[in-house]
A and B are shown apart, each in its own frame.
Chain A
Amino acid sequence: MIDVLMDVFNIWTLSALVLGTTLGILIGAMPGLGSVVGLSICLPFTFGMDVVPSLTLLLGVYCGSVYGGSISAVLVNSPGTPQAAATALDGYPMAQNGEGGLALGWATMASVIGGLISCAVLILAAPQLSRFATSFGSVQVFALIVLALTCIAAVSHGNTAKGLLMGVIGLMLALVGTDPVTGAARFTFGTQFLSAGFDLIAVVIGLFALSEAFWRVATGNKETAKVSGVRLRLPSLRAWKGRVRTLLRSSAIGSFVGALPGTGAATAAFISYAFARQSSPKRDNFGKGEPEGIVAAESSNNAVTGSAMIPTLALGIPGDVVTAILLSALVVQGITPGVRMMSENLELVNAIFVVLILINLVMLVLAFPLVRIFGKLLTVPQHIVTAGIIVFGILGAVTVRGNPMDVVVAVAFGAAGLLFRLTGFPLAPLVIGLVLGPQFEQTLRRGLLLHDGNFFAFFTAGPLAMILFFCAFVAVTAPIIGAIRRRGGKSAPDTNADNRETGGR
């Protein structure tokens, strides 16, 4: 234990910790730059560093960037990453009501607590959870994705038909590119560029950040939130009353989803948001600036950061691009990640645990000055903010894959996003479709290959899949049954608040 503390509490590790977390928050807060970009920028610098400081730097950037995404999501309605998209749903309306600082306070507290809870899960249950994760075969993951898709209804903001349509568009866009089973190019219209499919980051940047900029230009900045000089304001303890359940449940969902390879923070955030919206007594206020929506999204996407380390450390299985980059940093340091890592490099693994806890605490401290800097930055005239969103958005789109055509994609989706906003089509379902689409297709097709093309075999593939399919069934039918009951009872025409909102923004 002394060795571990010596590893962590030295000048190199601690400066890497503060530097990495600061950098991560800043990168995450720039619309357009996210975890992957931040980590790829920092990776080459770690080649010359010792192993604990180098991992600390990368983990700081990772955790910081997941949290930092909430800043631009709340203040300028431009989540640069899909994982912060759910945060904007309630964060930006709060900022528009002049409560931007408080919204960020909720986001910060939820992020830190979510992160700490998942650290606890990682430390206490990594071996057990990683073994449980291996029992998720293609059919089980398919069932989970089906459950996740039901959250489209929750983020449709009152117009379910438009939301579902957008979800389907997202799923269809996910089909463009390479067939995952045969490797053939499809829906590419013969172009080389489209054979790589639509890059999720480029689409998210276009759809949220650029379309926000275009919207500001189109409306002459009339509807933007007054966020200049905003200061972080933590919610009072009293305000947490009734919202703690959402916090705990969302952290649990994030911790669980993060432990499954191949899912991710965006999926976790959307599932948690959907759950919170369905079960909260304040559900009618969701989408209009309800702190509980921010709590749900932010606690669960940060809870993914700790538990994503579970398969990574316990099995050496990277669940996503981020953990893959972390593993390659280990390889460069001469450490072989894998099933034997936890037993052979126990000291390092323990150091990672300590570092993860520290990062979450440091994040809480750093949030105050960094939000303040952002508030200062936003005191510049609105058209410069707008230009900044566009510049960073385009920079982000081109950095991810190094493909200039991604800029065209981002701008095209920016224009489409403006159209969707003007016509009241919600944007989040499209992203959900695009995020989940590839997994949805791959697991479905692998399941069919395994069961000789018999889809009904999915429902007899064991209790785990059954439970998840049942949850999805309930998630779809419960609101309908609820609506029928309410309508059947005292015929109060206004009880179904869902129909009153216009959606879109």
Chain B
Amino acid sequence: MRTKITFASLFVMLGAATAAQSQTMELVVPFGAGGGSDTVARVFERGFSAALDRTIVIRNIAGASGTIGAAAVAQASADGNTLGYIPIGPLAIQPSLRDTAYDLDSFDYICQTTSTPVFLLQSAGSDKSEVAEWVTQGADSRVVYGSSGPGTIPHIAMAAFATEADMNSVHLPFDGTGVAMNAMAGGEIDLFVDTATVMESYDVTALAVFSAERLEAYPDIPTMAELGYDLEFSVWQGLVAPTGLDEAQKSALADACSAAVDATAFQELAAQTNTGLMYRGPEDFEAFVRSNAEVNAQILQDAGLTQ
């Protein structure tokens, strides 16, 4: 009797949960609610659902650096009812770091929404003022750099720089940017790579930017290329679907995506958070993801991290 009640209530609950989901479009965000990707995705969703005139539910499936959520998208049916708002990590980095249940062929690429270049940062209290001084220290002894975890862009960009500049380096991975910034303030790490948001939030100064040209907002910060290191890195996000989406549906989604990127709310959020907007259509986005993944795989291999 007691167990019957228990199980009955359980089934009612699960049944209600599945029935509610079948009507609307589901947008999977592979990180927790309240995180950086989630905040952007929620603002993007407003413009996207308005353009499509559909109800969209955001589903956060977090864990394993976003690969669980990305796998959920890859395994969903390709009826256009499940899409993923996925940043660079799970798409173009993690598949070379670990066994994932998906690869680049598991997705149809709809559009890219953002691209934010990253900066080389040092503590504001540091006695150094240019990249060359760190390169000298790296050649003579070592530099310690932090990251928000192995295989993140802060790690990959710094690892590539250390190789390119022939520095002895030690990589300390932290559980997220915040904790790493605490270590930077305490002098445990020398260098860190991250976006303008991080640069503005913490007591750090930028030495260089990993972009092709100097940024309009930061005209005084040199590019890595100017300093002799041909390195470009950015963090980006985009919209993908399980592979097998029909072409008409794909282009309709891409149009809606383009409208969502142009929406005022999205533009405002981007300005507030120093996020770079970048729309790429289906073909361009796919080509970009594939080449980006290849570059990252090579760096990880050089750093001895690929499996």
A residues with a Cβ closer than 8 A to B are 36, 39-40, 43-44, 47, 133-138, 177-185, 190, 192-193, 195-197, 199, 213, 217, 261-262, 311, 315-319, 321, 324-325, 328-329, 331-332, 334, 336-339, 383-384, 386-387, 390-391, 394-395, 401-403, 438, 442, 446, 449-450
B25-58 near A? 1/0 per residue, CB < 8 Å: 0000000111110110010000000000000000
Smallest Cβ-Cβ distance to A131: which chain B residue = B185
Q: B13 on the interface (CB 8 Å rule)?
A: yes
For the complex of A and B, list the 3 residue pairs with the smallest distance between their C-beta atoms, beginning with the closest.
A196-B63, A338-B201, A183-B150
Contact B6 A387 (CB under 8 A): yes
Contact size range, B: 35 or more
Contact A196 B185 (CB under 8 A): no
CA of A40 to CA of B38 in the docked complex: distance in angstroms? 11
> Given known contacts A178-B65, A331-B272, A386-B2, is B9 in contact with A184 (CB within 8 Å)?
no
Smallest Cβ-Cβ distance to A402: which chain B residue = B61
Nearest Cβ distance between residue B63 and chain A, in whole angstroms?
Answer: 3
Q: Give every chain A residue within 8 A of B65 (Cβ-Cβ).
A: 178, 183
Contact A135 B186 (CB under 8 A): yes
Contact A43 B5 (CB under 8 A): no
Most B-side CB within 10 Å, residue of A177, A184, A386: A184
Smallest Cβ-Cβ distance to B66: which chain A residue = A196
User: Given contacts A195-B99, A321-B34, could you give 13 more A-B pairs where the C-beta distance is less than 8 Å?
Assistant: A40-B33, A133-B182, A134-B182, A180-B149, A183-B150, A196-B62, A315-B182, A317-B181, A321-B32, A331-B39, A338-B202, A390-B6, A401-B63
CA of A328 to CA of B203 in the docked complex: distance in angstroms? 19
Q: B222 on the interface (CB 8 Å rule)?
A: no
> Given known contacts A317-B178, A331-B272, A384-B5, is B34 in contact with A184 (CB within 8 Å)?
no
Contact B9 A391 (CB under 8 A): yes
> Given known contacts A178-B64, A339-B201, is B33 in contact with A192 (CB within 8 Å)?
no
CA of A208 to CA of B62 in the docked complex: distance in angstroms? 23
Q: Give every chain B residue within 8 A of A195 (Cβ-Cβ).
A: 63-64, 67-68, 98-99
Contact A449 B171 (CB under 8 A): yes
Q: Tell which of B13, B67, B197 touches A192, judged by Cβ atoms closer than 8 Å.
A: B67
B199-227 near A? 1/0 per residue, CB < 8 Å: 01111000000000000000000000000
Contact B173 A181 (CB under 8 A): yes
Contact B99 A338 (CB under 8 A): no
Q: Give every chain B residue within 8 A of A450 (Cβ-Cβ).
A: 144, 170, 172, 188
B residues with a Cβ closer than 8 A to A are 1-3, 5-6, 9-10, 13, 32-36, 38-39, 42, 59-65, 67-69, 71, 94, 97-101, 144, 149-151, 170-176, 178-179, 181-183, 185-188, 197, 200-203, 269, 272-273, 305, 307
Nearest Cβ distance between residue B82 and chain A, in whole angstroms?
Answer: 13
Q: Give every chain B residue within 8 A of A316 (Cβ-Cβ).
A: 178, 181, 201-202
Contact A315 B68 (CB under 8 A): no
Q: Give every chain A residue within 8 A of B203 (Cβ-Cβ).
A: 315, 338-339
Q: Give every chain B residue within 8 A of A261 (Cβ-Cβ).
A: 178-179, 182
Q: Give every chain B residue within 8 A of A184 (Cβ-Cβ).
A: 97-98, 305, 307
Contact A319 B178 (CB under 8 A): yes
Contact A217 B201 (CB under 8 A): no
Q: Number of contacts between A and B (CB, 8 Å)?
A: 183
Contact B13 A401 (CB under 8 A): no
CA of A190 to CA of B269 in the docked complex: distance in angstroms? 40
Sample 25 A-B pairs with CB under 8 A, ordered by A number: A40-B32, A43-B34, A134-B185, A178-B65, A180-B173, A183-B97, A184-B305, A192-B64, A192-B71, A195-B68, A196-B63, A317-B202, A328-B38, A331-B273, A336-B197, A338-B200, A339-B202, A383-B5, A387-B5, A387-B6, A387-B9, A390-B6, A390-B10, A442-B173, A450-B188
Contact B33 A325 (CB under 8 A): yes
Contact B32 A401 (CB under 8 A): yes
Q: Tell which of B94, B97, B175, B182 touches A438, judged by Cβ atoms closer than 8 Å.
A: B175
CA of A331 to CA of B272 in the docked complex: distance in angstroms? 8
Q: Tell which of B1, B38, B273, B305 touches A182, judged by Cβ atoms closer than 8 Å.
A: B305
Nearest Cβ distance between residue A365 and chain B, in whole angstroms?
Answer: 29
Q: Tell which of A318, A328, A383, A446 touches B39, judged by Cβ atoms closer than 8 Å.
A: A328
CA of A478 to CA of B253 in the docked complex: distance in angstroms? 67
Contact A138 B188 (CB under 8 A): yes
Most A-side CB within 10 Å, residue of B32, B100, B101: B32
Q: Give every chain A residue within 8 A of B150 (Cβ-Cβ).
A: 179-183
> Given known contacts A183-B149, A184-B98, A387-B5, is B71 in contact with A317 (CB within 8 Å)?
no
> Given known contacts A193-B68, A401-B61, A442-B175, is B6 in contact with A185 (CB within 8 Å)?
no
Smallest Cβ-Cβ distance to A137: which chain B residue = B188
Nearest Cβ distance between residue B156 and chain A, in whole angstroms?
Answer: 11
Smallest Cβ-Cβ distance to B58: which chain A residue = A44
Q: Give every chain B residue within 8 A of A135 (Cβ-Cβ).
A: 186
Contact B188 A328 (CB under 8 A): no
Q: Tell which of A196, A328, A387, A446 touches B64, judged by Cβ atoms closer than 8 Å.
A: A196
Contact B64 A177 (CB under 8 A): yes
> Given known contacts A321-B32, A338-B202, A383-B1, is B175 in contact with A262 (CB within 8 Å)?
yes
CA of A136 to CA of B63 in the docked complex: distance in angstroms? 28
Nearest Cβ distance between residue B185 and chain A, in whole angstroms?
Answer: 4
CA of A136 to CA of B202 in the docked complex: distance in angstroms? 17
Q: Tell which of A134, A331, A387 touches B186, judged by Cβ atoms closer than 8 Å.
A: A134
Nearest Cβ distance between residue B172 and chain A, in whole angstroms?
Answer: 5
Q: Give every chain A residue within 8 A of B13 (Cβ-Cβ).
A: 391, 394-395
Q: Give every chain B residue within 8 A of A181 (Cβ-Cβ).
A: 150, 173
Q: Give every chain A residue within 8 A of B64 (Cβ-Cβ).
A: 177-178, 185, 192, 195-197
Q: Give every chain A residue within 8 A of B170 (Cβ-Cβ).
A: 449-450
CA of A134 to CA of B273 in the docked complex: distance in angstroms? 25
Nearest Cβ distance between residue A109 and chain B, in whole angstroms?
Answer: 32
CA of A36 to CA of B33 in the docked complex: distance in angstroms? 9
Q: Give every chain B residue within 8 A of A179 (Cβ-Cβ).
A: 150
Q: Give every chain A residue within 8 A of B5 (Cβ-Cβ).
A: 383-384, 387
Q: Give every chain A residue within 8 A of B42 (Cβ-Cβ).
A: 44, 47
Q: Give every chain A residue within 8 A of B201 (Cβ-Cβ).
A: 316, 336-339
Smallest Cβ-Cβ distance to B93: which chain A residue = A183
> Given known contacts A182-B305, A193-B68, is B63 in contact with A324 (CB within 8 Å)?
no
Most A-side CB within 10 Å, residue of B2, B39, B59: B2
Nearest Cβ distance between residue A325 and chain B, in whole angstroms?
Answer: 4
Q: Give every chain A residue within 8 A of B186 (Cβ-Cβ).
A: 134-137
Smallest Cβ-Cβ distance to B60: which chain A residue = A402
Smallest Cβ-Cβ distance to B199: which chain A residue = A338
Contact A192 B101 (CB under 8 A): yes
CA of A390 to CA of B61 in the docked complex: distance in angstroms? 22
Contact B33 A43 (CB under 8 A): yes
CA of A491 to CA of B42 in the docked complex: distance in angstroms? 69
Q: Tell which of B9, B99, B172, B175 touches A449, judged by Cβ atoms closer than 8 Å.
A: B172
CA of A438 to CA of B67 in the docked complex: distance in angstroms? 20
Q: Give every chain B residue within 8 A of A196 (Cβ-Cβ).
A: 62-64, 68
Contact A183 B181 (CB under 8 A): no
Q: Give every chain A residue within 8 A of B151 (Cβ-Cβ).
A: 183
